[in-house]
């Protein structure tokens, strides 16, 4: 079974520029998550999708961050304009519908963003 795919793995941009990250979850997984992990911190949920719909985006800075999940499969996370404090690893995860209750999330390797 293929894992969660993310790209790009690394991105360096200057502040006020824009960036987009892509995620392809495990086939058949209904739930998709984007987490932000700042160095030395635990992952923080930005947004959670159930199929096409948003379940939780309470911690997404909506003035600069946006995310969509196309046809209930792939997802993109965009930051525009980026700030220095957005430097972090952006982790995508997916789970089966039942897995959401067991806490068994499958994470990708992450996209490391550096904002200069």
Partner 1 sequence: EDQVTQSPEALRLQEGESSSLNCSYTVSGLRGLFWYRQDPGKGPEFLFTLYSAGEEKEKERLKATLTKKESFLHITAPKPEDSATYLCAVQAGGSNYKLTFGKGTLLTVNP
Specify the stretch interacting with partner 1 by CB under 8 A; choose among 11-19, 21-29, 67-75, 105-113: 105-113
Query: In DSSP terms, which residues pair with 50 in a beta bridge?
Result: 31, 53
CB of 71 to partner 1, least distance (A): 22
For residue 23, what are its two tokens? 């995620």
CB of 100 to partner 1, least distance (A): 4
Site string (23-62) toward partner 1, x via CB under 8 A: --------x--------xxxxxx--x------xx------
Residues 6+ apart with CB under 8 A from 34: 23, 45, 46, 47, 48, 67, 75, 77, 90, 91, 92
Which residue, 53 or 70, has its beta carbon nearer to partner 1? 53
Should residue 101 be labelled a site residue for partner 1 when binding is judged by CB under 8 A? yes
Specify the stretch interacting with partner 1 by CB under 8 A; choose among 12-20, 61-69, 70-78, 94-102: 94-102
Phi–psi pair at 17, nearest 5 degrees: -80, 170
CA-based angle 53:99:88, to the nearest 5?
A: 70
Residues 92 and 109: beta-carbon distance below 8 Å: no
* Contact residues for partner 1, defined by CB under 8 A: 4, 31, 40-45, 48, 55-56, 91, 93, 100-110
């Amino acid at each position: 079974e293929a894992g969660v795919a993310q790209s790009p793995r690394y991105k360096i941009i200057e502040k006020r520029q824009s960036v987009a990250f892509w995620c392809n979850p495990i086939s058949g997984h209904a739930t998709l998550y984007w987490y932000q992990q700042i160095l030395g911190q635990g992952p923080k949920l930005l947004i959670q999708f159930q199929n096409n719909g948003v379940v939780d985006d309470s911690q997404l800075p909506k003035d600069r961050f946006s995310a969509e999940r196309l046809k209930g499969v792939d997802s993109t996370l965009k930051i525009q304009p980026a700030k220095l404090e957005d430097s972090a690893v952006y982790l995508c995860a997916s789970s089966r519908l039942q897995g959401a209750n067991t806490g068994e999330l499958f994470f990708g390797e992450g996209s490391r963003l550096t904002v200069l």
